[in-house]
Amino acid sequence: MINRPDKAKLYYPHMPATWWLRKRSYFMFMLREFTSVFIAIYLVVFLISLYRLGQSEAAYAAFVDGLRSPGWLAFHWVALLFAIYHSVTWFLSSAVVLSLRLGTWEAPRWLVAGAHIGGWLVVSVAILILYTVL
């Protein structure tokens, strides 16, 4: 049986809208969530570029040429930094989610995160080499 106090006598605190500015960890969490906005915009730009490529080579070239403006370049740099931050936090989180056990031994988190980040780097470098060679 749970003893319940008189609700009328309680003080109910309210969480301020600026709660995420209270601690660095809350701010970094909100930043992680905010990265999704830039990644979503980048995805839309990427899909449009594919659509233009499907239209004609000239249409694609014109679209890519438009992306060379200072505003779009700045956007892509910010999107790249946010994508890296989001990816790193994602792979670090994977080590929390995955529990790899062998009998009583559990793989340490640095190993799980390191394996993910290592694999990510290998795939990224492979794509970069393919892109520059082809």
Partner 1 sequence: MSEETITLNVTRFRPGQDSEPVLQSYTIPYRKDWVVLDALNHIKDWVDQTLSYRWSCRMGVCGSCGMMVNGEPKLTCSAFLREYYPNPVTVEPLVNFPVMRDLVVDMSDFMDKLKSVKPWLIREEEKPVSEGEYLQSPAQLGVYKQFSLCINCMLCYAACPVYGLEPDFIGPAALALAHRYNEDSRDQGKEQRREVIASNEGTWDCTFVGECSVVCPKHVDPAAAIQRLKVDNTKSWIKSLLLPKGGRA
Which spans of this chain sit near partner 1 (rule: CB under 8 A)? 2-5, 7, 9-13, 15, 19-20, 22-23, 25-26, 29, 33, 93, 96-97, 99, 101, 103-104, 106
Number of neighbouring beta carbons within 10 Å of residue 76: 15
Q: Minimum distance between the CB of residue 43 and partner 1, rounded to whole angstroms?
A: 21
Return the structure tokens found at 10: 């309680």
Q: Minimum distance between the CB of residue 90 and partner 1, rounded to whole angstroms?
A: 10
Q: Are 97 and 68 in contact (CB under 8 A)?
A: no
Q: Minimum distance between the CB of residue 102 and partner 1, rounded to whole angstroms?
A: 9
For partner 1, the closer CB: 34 or 51: 34
Q: Minimum distance between the CB of residue 31 and partner 1, rounded to whole angstroms?
A: 12
Return the structure tokens found at 77: 């740099």
For partner 1, the closer CB: 66 or 108: 108
Name the residue type at position 85: Y
| DSSP secondary structure string for all residues of 26-77 | HHHHHHHHHHHHHHHHHHHHHHHHHHHHHH-HHHHHHHHHHTTSHHHHHHHH
For tokens 């994977």, what's the residue? 94
For partner 1, the closer CB: 68 or 101: 101
For partner 1, the closer CB: 59 or 107: 107
